[in-house]
């Protein structure tokens, strides 16, 4: 008689900022894991924190039903770092506790749904000996080695709709409206929605701007009879001077060779970032001064990552979730399951962790934006 195959027990969690499509991915992974591969699935609540605190939830058929289109994450999330988790006001290395919890739950694998921070955490857990798998989620589209991450397309739709809508009110009032768009340190969301929504100016972290250049674009528009402008600005976009200040602060962090020096450099970098946080309002103020046109700010904020996922993200999350379950069944661990072209690919986590996919300044989206006359502030 053939030996009975051991039932695999798998843990799953969602970490980092929430994004539309997380529940579609939990469902895709869970249904394939249970129905196709005969596995057992448990969820950890609130990302890496729930994993460290061993807060679990059974994920069976009924729990996975009816969540395809639900926004957010049914598991909850957090932005904790496994090696420096704040517990009772102190940063602690929770990796040994997490390894214990993994063993206590008799897990064969742990599936982490998240962005760049989650890839770093997953890689740390991989090095600690856990069988880890990562599925790429982010509205920022800034994960390397994958063309797609669920959440991005939904956010792109929302931000595009906002840029569209700002046109009529900017036009009616002869105003400049500066729309701040998320994306962390990458400009994909601002660039994509700026192009799709027909923004007159798009400002990205990858292309530092000057007020003079933006004012010139606006003045040329006024000369042509357009007495309004919509500016799509990525939250990480900076003036040439501010970008240089931040780059210098980052270099100090990289070059510090003592723990104390590093801590001081990090504090300085945080202070620089805090100073730049008001950038969008400062920009609108300077544009009003430079052009004489009344200026307003619209921060799109968390609306961009709330609500139901679009069809692209539901499809992508289901593809990656089911492919992830197959990877676990095959014992293919230590990888991110992403896409390149039309293909689902398995990329070693060490190639992903700690890297950021910025917009290349010669990217064809940038060429397209320039060729339709969009100002990029440079
Ligand atoms: O990474 C997704 C994202 O929404 C970024 O675009 C944004 O910079 C950040 O998260 C906001 O983070 P938090 O949810 O911690 O405020």
The SS3 call for residue 181 is strand
Say if 134 falls within a structural domain: yes
Residues of the chain with pLDDT under 70: 1-4
Give residue 5's pLDDT. Answer: 72
Give residue 6's pLDDT. Answer: 81
Does 17 contact ligand 1 (Cβ within 6 A)?
Answer: yes
What is the distance in A from the centroid of ligand 1 to the CA of 17?
6
Q: Mark whether 300 and 322 lie in a shared domain.
A: no
Does 320 contact ligand 1 (Cβ within 6 A)?
Answer: no
Does 138 contact ligand 1 (Cβ within 6 A)?
Answer: yes
Does 305 contact ligand 1 (Cβ within 6 A)?
Answer: yes
What's the pTM? Answer: 0.95
Q: What is the CATH number of the domain that holds 257?
A: 3.40.50.460
Say if 378 falls within a structural domain: no
Atom of ligand 1 nearest to the CA of 236: 8
Atom of ligand 1 nearest to the CA of 184: 8
Q: What is the residue range of 365's domain?
A: 155-304+360-371
What is the distance in A from the centroid of ligand 1 to the CA of 323?
27
Give residue 101's pLDDT. Answer: 98
Q: Mark whether 36 and 130 lie in a shared domain.
A: yes
Residue of the CA atom closest to atom 9 of ligand 1: 184
Q: Mark whether 133 and 270 lie in a shared domain.
A: no
Q: Mark whether 346 and 366 lie in a shared domain.
A: no
Angle CA(265)–CA(267)–CA(273) in degrees, nearest 5?
Answer: 105
Give residue 2's pLDDT. Answer: 61
Residue of the CA atom closest to atom 12 of ligand 1: 17
Residue of the CA atom closest to atom 15 of ligand 1: 17
Span between the terminal Cα atoms of the chain, in Å: 72
d(CA 80, CA 88): 14
Give residue 1's pLDDT. Answer: 57
Q: Mark whether 316 and 232 lie in a shared domain.
A: no
Q: Mark whether 171 and 287 lie in a shared domain.
A: yes
Determine which one of 18, 140, 142, 200 is catalytic.
140
For residue 233, what is the enclosing H or E element? strand 229-234
What is the distance in A from the centroid of ligand 1 to the CA of 251?
24
Atom of ligand 1 nearest to the CA of 305: 4
Q: Mark whether 164 and 196 lie in a shared domain.
A: yes
Say if 123 falls within a structural domain: yes
Q: What is the CATH number of the domain that holds 316?
A: 3.40.50.450
Give residue 57's pLDDT. Answer: 97
Q: Domain count of the chain? A: 2
Say if 2 falls within a structural domain: no
What single string gives the DSSP state of each residue in 178-222? EEEE--TT--HHHHHHHHHTT-SEEEBTTB-B-HHHHHHHHHHHH
Q: Is 224 exposed, middle or buried (0-12, 13-18, 19+ CB in 10 A)?
A: exposed
Does 162 contact ligand 1 (Cβ within 6 A)?
Answer: no
Q: Mark whether 260 and 325 lie in a shared domain.
A: no
Residue of the CA atom closest to atom 16 of ligand 1: 17
Say if 333 falls within a structural domain: yes
What is the distance in A from the centroid of ligand 1 to the CA of 239?
21
d(CA 124, CA 108): 17
Say if 22 falls within a structural domain: yes
Q: Mark whether 226 and 238 lie in a shared domain.
A: yes
Say if 185 falls within a structural domain: yes
Active site residue 242: no
What is the distance in A from the centroid of ligand 1 to the CA of 184?
6
Encoding tokens for residue 342?
């039309």
Say if 4 falls within a structural domain: no
Give residue 343's pLDDT. Answer: 96
Q: Mark whether 289 and 235 lie in a shared domain.
A: yes
Does 182 contact ligand 1 (Cβ within 6 A)?
Answer: yes
Q: Mark whether 315 and 365 lie in a shared domain.
A: no
Atom of ligand 1 nearest to the CA of 139: 2
- Determine phi and psi for 163, rounding to 5 degrees: -60, -40
Give residue 7's pLDDT. Answer: 83
Q: Mark whether 124 and 42 lie in a shared domain.
A: yes
d(CA 319, CA 19): 17
């Amino acid at each position: 008689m053939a030996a009975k195959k051991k039932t695999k027990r798998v843990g799953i969690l969602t970490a980092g900022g929430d994004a539309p499509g997380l529940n579609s991915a939990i469902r895709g992974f869970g249904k394939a894991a249970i129905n196709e591969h005969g596995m057992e699935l448990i969820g950890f609540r609130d990302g890496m924190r729930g994993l460290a605190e061993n807060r679990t939830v059974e994920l069976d058929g009924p729990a996975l039903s009816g969540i395809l289109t639900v926004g957010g994450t049914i598991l909850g999330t957090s932005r904790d770092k496994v090696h420096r988790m704040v517990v009772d006001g102190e940063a602690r290395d929770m990796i040994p506790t997490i390894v214990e919890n993994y063993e206590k739950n008799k897990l064969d694998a742990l599936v982490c749904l998240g962005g760049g921070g989650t890839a770093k955490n997953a890689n740390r857990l991989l090095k600690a000996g856990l069988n880890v798998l990562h599925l790429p989620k982010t509205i920022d589209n800034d994960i390397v080695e994958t063309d797609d991450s669920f959440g991005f397309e939904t956010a792109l739709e929302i931000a595009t709709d906002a840029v569209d809508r700002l046109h009529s009110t900017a036009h009616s009032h002869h105003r400049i409206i500066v729309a701040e768009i998320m994306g962390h340190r990458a400009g994909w969301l601002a660039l994509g929605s700026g192009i799709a929504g027909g923004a007159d100016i798009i400002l990205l972290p990858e292309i530092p701007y000057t007020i003079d250049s933006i004012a010139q674009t606006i003045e040329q528009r006024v000369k042509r009879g357009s007495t309004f402008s919509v500016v799509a600005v990525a939250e990480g976009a900076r003036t040439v001077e501010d970008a240089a200040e931040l780059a210098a602060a980052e270099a100090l962090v990289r070059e510090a060779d003592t723990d104390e020096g590093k801590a001081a450099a990090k504090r300085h970098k945080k202070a620089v970032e805090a100073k730049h946080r008001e950038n969008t309002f400062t920009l609108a103020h300077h544009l009003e001064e430079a052009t004489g046109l009344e200026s307003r700010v619209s921060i799109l904020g968390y609306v961009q990552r709330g609500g139901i996922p679009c069809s692209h993200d539901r499809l992508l999350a289901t593809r990656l979730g089911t492919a992830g379950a197959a990877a676990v069944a095959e014992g293919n661990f230590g990888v991110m399951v992403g896409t390149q072209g039309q293909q689902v690919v398995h990329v070693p986590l060490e190639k992903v962790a700690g890297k950021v996919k910025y917009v290349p300044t010669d990217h064809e989206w940038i060429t397209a934006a320039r060729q339709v006359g969009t100002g990029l502030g440079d």
